[in-house]
């Protein structure tokens, strides 16, 4: 390193003796080859690591799935084939016999949801019902509903606490469950680069889980924190898998895709009430058809003090909150 | 303008053609928009299927007191309320069970300023009574509750109070609704504190308010 004549590296010791030259050359080549070898090894390792998802792909993804068209482009026969494949795969991966349907929006129906903040007691039974109904990953307690514990007087759910774990309701608090607001102008749909999510005629924003690329733009765009990402393949014991599934709703999602509340469309498009409403022990939830002037939800909109979350954003949520007094 | 047209008469023709095509487009558009309109009012004229029923769960059966004894078949022996109350003198002022030493011990009672006999019928202890003195059977308790809780009953009748199960669309299936006393303990109507279930374990945390 401190060689006085670095310009002529061959005569390394400077005195002209033959002692240093040969071994030094040898040392250089050894170091080079070691570095080369190291570099090559690192390169191969990085390459292998980079290609690892491809091996996962072949393991987890069939060619049919890889080549599947967008939901809206599937013909009736093609969707039947896809559903048959998904049913088979659920049996293989989860050991559960399920029925996957593809219910369409009802003519002239537009779903609306209202929630009575005067009665909600924050018990999180709705979140639990969602967890079970929608085949969420068991370990992560995933659910489309977050219940915020709010200080009385505050309306900003960003300041609410979702991690409360004490008997409820506390006297100085109220409880605000937040799920997908099924916006009239959904920003999550606007930002999707592949049109894997869209708003259906009955107002429900859906995701084609087989078209989603998992970029999570929609999660970032949603001001209600309503979208969830499947970080892992959902783990559900076979006995706990809800067999009544919808292609656009509660079928078990693959790893790496977004998911969201669909107002339980596999139930509600067949006339049934959403799971979270049926589970509510206080009766705080009101669900129905906004286009029907005699519906329960219309009664709430016309007779109660109703508000929507983050109204100033102009997204026109179809989920309403109200107070009794 | 007129000078320009005189100079180039072809311009007038072009303008005419453009105007004509715009008119025809407008007609086509109007037809397109108006075509579905007559179809809409037809639908309500179709015979509507009879809606499925809304069932309200019945109130509690007429209560009976467990005597603590068993009959020869092992069934508990119970007594009608009137069995004991036919021999006691009604106390209209009683509004608590804390000093009772026979039946009703330990009854947690907190229902405003009501007394026992505000609801229980001193003339027939196997029934309840309305404010005007008429008797009401236990399963029909909602009539009794509605006397004071008018706003709750109004909302209940409009489907915006009280839990339910089944169908939002009665054309597709029935609905079962809770009775007042399915959720509210009539002796202690305020909901008790409960321990919340399923604490969230989000990988990406949302504001916690701390």
The model's pLDDT over B59-72, given as tens digits with 9 standing for 90+, comes to 888 998 888 888 89
What is the pLDDT, as a whole number, of residue A212? 96
Residue B162's pLDDT band (cuts 50, 70, 90): very high
Q: How far is A176 from chain B (nearest CA, A)?
A: 13
Nearest residue to A321 (alpha-carbon basis) of A143, A157, A171: A157
C-alpha triplet A225, A226, A228: angle, nearest 5°: 95
pLDDT of residue B208 exceeding 60: no
pLDDT of residue B155 exceeding 90: yes
CA atoms within 13 A on the CB side of A294: 3
Output the CA torsion A26→A28→A30→A31 (10° steps): 160
What is the pLDDT, as a whole number, of residue B37? 44
Q: In chain B, what are the domain boundaries?
A: 109-183
Question: Is the previous residue joined to A249 through a cis bond, with omega within 30 degrees of 0?
Answer: no
Instruction: Give the span between the Cα atoms of A126 and A177, in whole angstroms.
Output: 8
Question: Which range in A28-32, A298-302, B78-82 is most confidently predicted, on average pLDDT?
Answer: A298-302
Q: In chain A, what are the domain boundaries?
A: 22-59, 111-323
Q: How far is A162 from chain B (nearest CA, A)?
A: 6
Contacts of A283 in chain B (CB under 8 A): 161-164, 178, 183
* ipTM score: 0.79
- Is the pTM here over 0.80, yes or no? no
Q: Please give the average per-residue pLDDT across B103-126, as a whole number.
A: 90
B52 and B177 Cβ atoms separated by less than 8 Å: no
pLDDT digits (tens, 9 = 90+) for B31-40: 555 544 444 4
Nearest residue to A8 (alpha-carbon basis) of A33, A25, A26, A27: A25
The token duo for B94 is 């009683």
Instruction: Give the span between the Cα atoms of A165 and B38, in whole angstroms.
Output: 57
Domain A111-323, architecture per CATH: 2-Layer Sandwich (3.30)
pLDDT digits (tens, 9 = 90+) for A198-232: 999 999 999 999 999 999 999 999 999 999 999 99
Q: Please give the average per-residue pLDDT across A179-199, as a whole number.
A: 97
What is the pLDDT, as a whole number, of residue B36? 45
Q: Please give the average per-residue pLDDT across B143-155, as a whole number.
A: 95
Find the CB nearest B168 among A225, A268, A281.
A268
Among A163, A234, A309, the residue to mutate for chain B (most B Cβ within 10 A): A163
Q: Please give the average per-residue pLDDT across B148-177, as a whole number.
A: 95
State phi, psi for A148 to the nearest 5 degrees: -95, 130
- The verdict on a CB contact (< 8 Å) between A324 and B155 is yes
**Of B83 and A275, which is predicted with more confidence?**
A275
């Amino acid at each position: 390193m401190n060689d006085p004549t670095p310009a002529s590296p061959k005569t390394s010791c400077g005195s002209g003796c033959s002692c240093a030259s040969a071994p030094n050359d040898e040392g250089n080549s050894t170091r080079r080859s070691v570095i080369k070898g190291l570099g090559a090894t690192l390169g191969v390792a990085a390459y292998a690591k980079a290609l690892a998802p491809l091996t996962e792909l072949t393991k987890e993804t069939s060619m049919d799935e890889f080549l599947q068209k967008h939901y809206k482009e599937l013909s009736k026969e093609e969707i039947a084939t896809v559903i048959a494949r998904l049913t088979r795969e659920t049996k293989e991966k989860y050991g559960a016999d399920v029925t996957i349907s593809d219910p369409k929006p009802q003519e002239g129906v537009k779903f609306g949801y209202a929630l009575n903040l005067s009665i909600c007691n924050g018990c999180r039974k709705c979140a639990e019902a969602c967890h079970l109904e929608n085949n969420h990953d068991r370990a992560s307690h995933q659910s489309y509903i977050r219940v915020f514990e709010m200080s009385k007087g505050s309306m900003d759910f960003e300041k609410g606490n979702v991690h409360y774990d004490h008997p409820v309701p506390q006297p100085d608090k109220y409880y605000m469950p937040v799920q997908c607001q099924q916006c009239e102008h959904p920003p999550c749909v606007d930002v999707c680069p592949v049109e894997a999510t869209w708003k259906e005629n009955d107002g429900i924003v859906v995701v084609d889980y087989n078209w989603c690329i998992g970029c999570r733009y929609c999660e970032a765009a949603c001001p209600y924190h309503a979208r969830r990402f499947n970080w892992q393949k959902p783990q559900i014991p076979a006995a706990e898998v809800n067999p009544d599934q919808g292609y656009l709703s509660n079928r078990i999602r693959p790893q790496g895709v977004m998911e969201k509340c669909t107002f339980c469309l596999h139930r509600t498009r067949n006339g049934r009430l959403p799971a979270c409403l049926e589970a509510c022990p206080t009766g705080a939830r009101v669900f129905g058809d906004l286009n029907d002037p005699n519906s329960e939800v219309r009664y709430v909109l016309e007779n109660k003090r109703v508000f929507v979350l983050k109204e100033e954003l102009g997204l026109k949520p179809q989920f309403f909150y109200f107070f009794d007094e | 303008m007129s000078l320009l047209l005189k100079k180039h008469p072809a311009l007038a023709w072009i303008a005419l053609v453009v105007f004509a095509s715009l008119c025809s487009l407008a007609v086509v558009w109007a037809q397109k928009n108006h075509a579905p309109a007559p179809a809409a009012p037809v639908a309500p004229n179709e015979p509507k299927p009879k809606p499925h029923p809304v069932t309200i769960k019945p109130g509690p059966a007429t209560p009976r007191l467990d005597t603590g004894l068993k009959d020869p078949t092992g069934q508990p022996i119970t007594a009608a309320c009137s069995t004991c109350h036919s021999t006691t003198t009604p106390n209209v002022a009683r509004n608590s069970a804390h000093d009772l030493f026979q039946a009703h011990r330990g009854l947690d009672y907190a229902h405003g300023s009501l007394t026992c006999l505000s609801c229980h019928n001193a003339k027939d202890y196997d029934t309840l009574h309305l404010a005007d003195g008429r008797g009401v059977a236990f399963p029909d308790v909602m009539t009794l509750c509605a006397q004071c809780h008018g706003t709750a009953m109004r909302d209940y009748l409009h489907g915006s109070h009280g839990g339910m199960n089944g169908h939002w669309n009665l054309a597709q299936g029935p609905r079962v609704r809770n009775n007042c006393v399915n959720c509210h303990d009539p002796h202690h109507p305020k909901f008790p504190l409960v321990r919340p279930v399923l604490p969230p374990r989000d990988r990406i945390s949302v504001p916690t308010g701390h």
